[in-house]
Amino acid sequence: MELKQSVEQFKGQTRLPKLAIPTSYDLCLKLDLIACTFSGTVQVNLNILEHTKYLVLNALELDVHKVWFTKSNNQTYQPCDVVLDGDDEILVLVFDEMLSPGDGVLGIDFSGALNQQLKGLYRCTYVDGGVKKNMAVTQFQAVDARRCFPCWDEPALKATFKITIDVPSELTALSNMPTTDEKLNENIKTVYFEESPIMSTYLVAVVVGVFDHIEETTADGTKVRVYCPVGKCDKGKFALDVAVKALDIFTRYFSTPYPLPKLDMVAVPEFSDAAMENYGLITYRENVLLYDDLLSPADRKQFLTIAVSHEVAHQWFGNLVTMEWWSHLWLNEGFATWVSYMATDIMFPEWKIWTQFLLKTNDGLRMDALEQSHPIEVEVHHARSIEEIFDSISYKKGSAVIRMLQGYLGDGTFQSQFLSSGLGGDGLWIVPITLSIGSYNKCKTFLLETKSGKVDISELVHSPHENSSSVNEKNKEKCDDHFWVKVNTEQSGFYRVNYEDKLAARLKKAIESNCLSAPDKFGILDDTYALCEACKQPLSSLLSLMVVYRKELDFIVLSKLINVCYKVMEIASDAIPAVVNELKQFFIDLLLFSAEKSGWESISGESHLNALLRGEVFLALATFGHNKTHKEAIQRFQMLLNDRNTRLLSADTRKAAFIVVMLNASTTDRNGFESLLKLYREADTVQEKELVLRCLASCPDPNILLEVLNFMLSDEVRDQDSIYVLFMISSEGREVAWRWLKENWDLIFAKYGVMLTYYCITKILPLFCSNEKADEIEAFFASRMHPSFTMILKQSIEQIRLKARWVANIRREQSLEDLVKQLASMKC
């Protein structure tokens, strides 16, 4: 009883007790890819910090076979008890004798199963000569190194790692460091890797499989390799080029050489995230790392560039310098996000990527507007709840706050001053405010240090030789036309702006007169939508503002306009069902000008942004049911079926065509649906498979949708790819999707874990708009809560209740339906 009580003291704790700290790991792993098991031995050099009879470290889903501890004087201790606690994910070693402070070596023999949950040391499959075979991959962030070997699995507890792996002789084995030796014993080879610099356990990585690779060497002598599926090295060339350039950019930016002798990037067939910044061995989903000139749309090229830059940046910020605990994740991910845009802008200035950064700011603002949001720095109380904070707040709000500070302080002051002083300690958020008055030559910046404040703008309104009264008398009419005030210039700050009616009207005129920059036009529309959603402005105000964007051709502004159209349509069927068709027509009319300018087919030498715009515009027209777009899409889809290499349906417009196919599919006419399934089954690239999956669930037919959702869970869809199916479920399909989710919840959670449950919650639940449905969802999950999705579930339910409030507010608007009919009949 006394021993049990002593062990209990270590349970229910967020962090490991500070009894000992590791300094180095010597890890040997033996993989059996047929039985899908592994065994290993880890020897950890420890520094015992105090007299203790306990050593407490992390372990999960491992079998421990033998444990010993040897002090520096060669005295060996055997534990009298070994306690594995699955709930707290700890391994408690109990000794009869007191261990004294000082150095020693802890040895543990262990074994485990290669799981299928894409975490820890897991198995995935590849096809070799038509035969499906197993390979092994690690994904340890945030707290899953403990699934591979017993360790002190906290980011601050850095140590060196010396890794040895036994693998089948025909396979390639990769780890963080270069190999030092290989020894062959019949059909098994033992691969030895150099000892690493100190690093956190979540950055340790191993990949074992069959690959081809390409390589380059940087000017500093760092060897960079991209490992691809066999025969697909040509699709890794763009990523290799980006990585080499990013290494050079960050070496100069951080004024510190890349810390390791090599950098490998590996395309993994099954992976839970987009990518992972393992030290010296970055892992990616295949469709993130591989780029196909014919089949990859422009947005994929851009996403790849940002993703590679993000992960390479982590080699310094995150890996070389690491957060003490997961509460500081926002700085790790926020900074990597911000600096990846910086690198992308250096490589491709014509992409105007900082303007597109507004989409990051917008996503962060939307999440931050929820009561169930969280500060960028958040307390973590359970290992599994860490997964929840890898969200828009940590990545997007975090990077937006950094961008705001950089914009206010300037490049010369930012990084050093920000990193040394932080964000202040008094709990008051001091907001850097920027504004322009009638011209971008007339700007002012100030700090809003209290809840309200006043700013003197008189010197910006008139020349120094005129007094204000004479200006008002002489130029009142001229002032009324041109005296616009835009707060948050270039939309660099992380805050919302609510204009009074007169200022809002002048900004509308400024937009029509093309006086404002693209970021500011984006910001005015974005803020107006947010205020409308919050019931602080009527929907009629938002719709009237949207009219002035009818001739817009800038990609980022049009992208926001389209996004607002989608969001309003989501609410319209519940709020104003009588005029939904008229609302669709209004939105179609807003987009026809840009559609006619871009056309279906790419133009030789056109800009990257034009290619992005084409895909967005035709996808929107397809979604809103534009007849001409539907007819053209069906014709071009048939051309694709006849010739898979046709350029008459480009990578940028294929999604629009696939959506049209599914919108017209039904139980009585399955031809288009069956054709898309055939396309999926015959596709030999991950890009095309992903695109088909993203479109299937857009079908409004309940029977087809149910079939699609069940197909998602079948063996035909890789576990990692199942999430794509959920992205295009429409409000018409929400009831079917919700019933399906309830019936399959236990299976989904058991098989896929947080990877799929996150998307089931965030893509299905917020489609509803009533408090009654929110109550039903709360009741269903009351007995099914888990730390890995508690926060996102609360956020999704809050979104439903906010939309219910918005629906009620819209229904109270007088003459709204008349306005919608008027807008639908006008020529944009």
CB within 8 Å of 64: residues ≥ 6 apart: 82, 84, 91, 108, 109, 110, 150
Which of 110-119, 378-387, 604-613, 762-771 has the weakest average pLDDT?
378-387
Q: How far is residue 538's CA from residue 546's CA, in Å, rounded to a whole number?
A: 13
Is the pLDDT assigned to residue 472 strictly greater than 50? no
Q: How far is residue 282's CA from residue 278's CA, in Å, rounded to a whole number?
A: 5
pLDDT at residue 459 in the model: 73
pLDDT at residue 321 in the model: 85
Nearest to 313 by CA among 346, 339, 293: 339
Q: How far is residue 510's CA from residue 501's CA, in Å, rounded to a whole number?
A: 14
Average pLDDT over residues 573-587: 96
Which tokens go with 389? 């904070």
CA atoms within 13 Å, Cβ hemisphere of 733: 27
Scan for tokens 């399934």, then name that residue.
677
Q: Which H/E stretch holds residue 682?
A: helix 671-682
- pLDDT tens readout for residues 187-218: 999 999 999 999 999 999 999 999 999 999 99
More reliable by pLDDT, 480 or 715? 715
Q: Which H/E stretch holds residue 707?
A: helix 702-712
Other Cβ atoms within 10 Å of 528 Cβ, number:
24
CB within 8 Å of 363: residues ≥ 6 apart: 392, 396
Which tokens go with 146? 């403990």
pLDDT at residue 430 in the model: 73
Q: Which of 286, 311, 387, 688 is catalytic?
A: 311
Is the pLDDT assigned to residue 163 strictly greater than 90? yes
Query: Angle, to 10 degrees, between the axis of helix 398-409 and the axis of helix 329-347?
Result: 60
Is 500 a catalytic site residue? no
pLDDT at residue 402 in the model: 65
Average pLDDT over residues 301-310: 94
Average pLDDT, the chain: 88
Instruction: Label residue 611 by pLDDT band (50, 70, 90).
Output: very high
Q: Is residue 48 within 8 Å of residue 17, measured between CB atoms? A: no
pLDDT at residue 421 in the model: 25
Percent of the chain with pLDDT over 90: 66
- pLDDT tens readout for residues 364-377: 666 666 666 555 66
Is the pLDDT assigned to residue 391 strictly greater than 70? no
pLDDT at residue 475 in the model: 45
pLDDT at residue 478 in the model: 47
Which of 81-90, 297-306, 382-391, 679-688 has the weakest average pLDDT?
382-391
Percent of the chain with pLDDT over 70: 88
Instruction: Provide DSSP, 579-631.
Output: GHHHHHHHHHHHHHHHHHHH-SS--TT--HHHHHHHHHHHHHHHHTT-HHHHH
Which tokens go with 426? 């008094």
Which of 73-77, 659-663, 708-712 has the weakest average pLDDT?
73-77
pLDDT at residue 382 in the model: 66
Which of 460-469, 536-545, 613-622 has the weakest average pLDDT?
460-469
How far, CA to CA in Å, does 83 sit from each of 39, 40, 71, 161, 201? 19, 19, 22, 25, 22
**For residue 275, what are the β-bridge partners?**
284
- pLDDT tens readout for residues 117-160: 889 999 998 887 778 889 999 999 889 999 999 999 999 999 99
Average pLDDT over residues 716-738: 93
pLDDT at residue 447 in the model: 79
pLDDT at residue 413 in the model: 39
Query: Angle, to 10 degrees, between the axis of helix 580-598 and the axis of helix 608-623?
Result: 150
Instruction: Provide DSSP, 471-538.
Output: HHHHSHHHHHHH--EEESGGG-SSS-----HHHHHHHHHHHHTT-S-HHHHHHHHHHHHHHHHTTSS-
Which of 419-423, 548-552, 673-677, 752-756 has the weakest average pLDDT?
419-423
Q: How far is residue 532's CA from residue 806's CA, in Å, rounded to a whole number?
A: 8
Average pLDDT over residues 229-237: 93
